[in-house]
Structure formats: structure tokens, C-alpha cells
Amino acid sequence: MKKDTLQTIAERTGFSKSTVSRVLSGQGRRYRISETAISIIQKEIRACGYTPDLIAKGLRTRRTNTVGLTIPSIENPFFSSLSSSIITRLKKSGYNILLSDSMETEENEREAISSFISRKVDGIIAVPVSSSPDFIESVSASTPVVLIDRYYENTILPYVCTDNYSGARKATEYLLGRGYRNIMAIQGVRTSMPNKERVKGFLDAIGKYGCGDAGCFVTGDAFSVENGIREVEAALSAGRKIDAVFAFSTTILLGVIKSLRAHGLRIPDDVAVISFDDNVFLDYMDPPISRVAQNTDKMGQATVDILMRLMSSDASEACSENSQVLIMPELIVKGSC
């Protein structure tokens, strides 16, 4: 039996090969192909079970319609939400996605990016975990790379991140304005740029209020539930007075809540709580949790837009545009503080 081709599908549907190809790659609406035509072509493609020869296509076009995405932890709700935003937008533009979890290790990150390159991806989106940009910057010389959530100081790489400094400062000033003076901030990975900026925002806020660091302090070393549990336990065991906890991620927050409850401490009556990152489950907790909400939809959209420009034929024009973006987070006040 002769294998179907774009030509045979075009002949049976009455549309041109280019129209069939655009519908097949998911770009029908981008080229303003009618919904009726898209429906007819998709129905015929399903009926005959046509699958494109991606290897042959890649050899012809030097494109694979594939993007590599590496994140530090798929278990972290923030990175799950961020990945979903990116993948949804790439899919709508006809791209396939290779997803890798670096597990916060530089070795895994390097292996993932090397694997993306060997599969000749058209572009890479990365939440970097390495301490130096050297490797990723060298990759960007031949493959477009956009960083998201984390970035490097003085890097040439484009990035889209939250304004973590402003978010942390605003949350800390809110707590201080409510009268809390013994605030424990539990940080994540100390070398990551978001964490550094959050620490700076926290310290600048308490400095402005003249609290010093006698009652307010920063501790911790990971964006994990275990870190939240460990740091609360350590503070309480040392007899340190705490009237509020600022968790630098929802994963840390979960550990904080578990530890406070284990000690019979109520939120917010005994200890107030505020968190960085947003998730719908925070509104269903008792009490609902105040937080600094990062807009993962805007972050995903901006990142994909930059990558699309970089992957276009005129990459020089793409690079000349604003490609290092900070997005302002939103302080959402609920019942936890």
C-alpha cells in the first residue's frame, strides 16, 4: 500500500500542499486558514493516519520544530506552572518540547543541554542552576537560548524573570507595617539570583524600619519542604522568638506549616506566615495564605516571544530588542498575616 504524502492529502482535500503543511504543523490559525479548512484537513490526516517524516523534514529545512526546556524541579508547583505556560504556547506555535529536570545540579543541567544540542533543537529555554554562564553562553552562539526565572549578572543571555527584589521588599514592609518585628525569612538555593534578590529586598526593608537583624533574620538553603521544616524546628529549639515567617517558596511554606502545627502554633494568632509564589491551593488552606504572586503566564509568554524572535531568520533584529525582562509580582493579602 502506497504511503500517503502531503501531495495525496492535498489532492483529496482540495487544498494546496502548503496549506496542508501549515495545518499539520499547528500553524493554521497563524496563517489565517479558515476553521472549516483546518477541520477538513485534520479529519483527513486522522483518517489516513498520516505522520510526517520529521527527520527528512529537518534535513530539508535545517529545523526540527523542537525546543528544549530544562527546569530545576518538576515537583515544585511553581516550576510545574511555569512549564505548563511555556509548553502551551510552544505547542500552539507548532513546536514539540523536550523537558528535562536538572534536580538543581550543574551536571544534570549540562547533560540536558548537551542532549538538546545533539537532537538539534531549534532553541532552548532554561532555568539555570549552574554558578557560571560560560557553558550556556557558549551554546547560545549556535543555538538560541532564553533564561527564565533565574539569570546571571552581566550576562549577554536574554532572560525573563520576576522582580524578586521588589516582591520581597513589599512583602516584608507589609509584615513590618502590621507590627511584626521578629520575622524569620527562610531562603532557598543561596546562589540563585531570585534568592539573592529576595534576601536583599528583605534586608533592605528591615533596615529601613530600623529593625537591624536582632529580631529579623535570614536562614535556610533550599527550595524544599524539608528546609522549611528544619529551619522552623531549629529556631524553636533554640528558643528564638518568632512572630512571622516569610517563606521564599511554596515548597518551603509547606514545611513551615507542618512544623508550626507540630508545635501547636496557630497561624496567624501565634505566628504569621507569608510566602513567595502563587498557587490555587493556597486559597484553600486554613487560613488562606498571603503571598507574593509571580505571573507565570506573563513569564511564559514573554519568554516564548523572545525565543521566537531569536529563532527567526533575522536574529540580529531580535537581539537588538529588549530581551532582558523583569516582571513585577503582586502582593496578595489573605488571612495568614
Domain ranges of the chain: 6-52, 60-162+296-328, 164-293
pLDDT bin (cut points 50, 70, 90) of residue 316 is very low
CATH C-level class of 6-52: mainly alpha
Q: How confident is the model at residue 107 (pLDDT cuts 50, 70, 90)?
A: very high
- Comparing 27 with 265, the larger pLDDT belongs to 265
Return the bridge partners of 71, or none.
101
DSSP bridge pairs for 186:
219, 247
The pLDDT of residue 52 is 62
Residue 7 in this model has a pLDDT that exceeds 90: no
For the segment 108-127, the average pLDDT, to the nearest whole number, is 96
Confidence grade of residue 292 (pLDDT, cut at 50, 70, 90): very high
Sign of the C-alpha dihedral, residues 187, 190, 195, 199?
A: positive
Q: What pLDDT score does 43 carry? A: 85
**Please, are residues 147 and 159 in contact by the beta-carbon 8 Å criterion?**
yes
Which cell goes with 135?
A: 557553558
Full-prediction pTM beyond 0.85?
no
Which grid coordinates are listed for 86? 511555556
The H or E element containing residue 23 is: helix 17-24
pLDDT at 20: 82
- What per-residue confidence (pLDDT) applies to 320? 46
Instruction: Report DSSP letters for 74-87, one per residue.
Output: TTSHHHHHHHHHHH
Which is higher by pLDDT, 260 or 53? 260
Stretch (H or E) spanning 110: helix 106-118
Cell triple for 7: 501531495
pLDDT digits (tens, 9 = 90+) for 18-77: 888 777 766 677 678 888 888 888 888 878 877 665 545 554 456 789 999 999 999 999
Confidence of residue 105 (pLDDT cuts 50, 70, 90): very high
In this prediction, residues 85-95 reach a mean pLDDT of 94
* Contact between residue 254 and residue 235 where contact means Cβ atoms under 8 Å apart: no
> Average of pLDDT values for 321-335?
92
**88 is written with which cell numbers?**
502551551
Assigned architecture for domain 60-162+296-328: 3-Layer(aba) Sandwich (3.40)
| 80-86 own/partner pairs: CB under 8 Å, 24+ apart | 81/279, 81/296, 82/127, 82/148, 82/149, 82/296, 82/299, 82/300, 84/296, 84/300, 85/296, 85/297, 85/299, 85/300, 85/301, 86/125, 86/148, 86/300, 86/303, 86/304
Domain 164-293 sits in CATH 3.40.640.10: no
Interval 197-212: pLDDT, tens: 999 999 999 998 877 6
Q: Could you give the CA distance from residue 239 to residue 42 in angstroms, rounded to a whole number? A: 66
Would you say residue 226 has pLDDT above 80? yes
Q: How far apart are CA 271 and CA 80, in angstroms?
A: 29
- CA–CA separation, 28 and 32 (whole Å): 6
- Mean pLDDT (the chain) is 90
C-alpha cell at 256: 513551615
Is there a common fold for 60-162+296-328 and 164-293?
yes
Position 280 pLDDT exceeds 60 = yes
Better-scored residue on pLDDT, 309 or 5 = 309
Using the predicted structure, report yes or no on whether residue 9 has a pLDDT greater than 50.
yes
Model pLDDT, residue 208: 86
In the prediction, which pLDDT does 154 show? Answer: 86
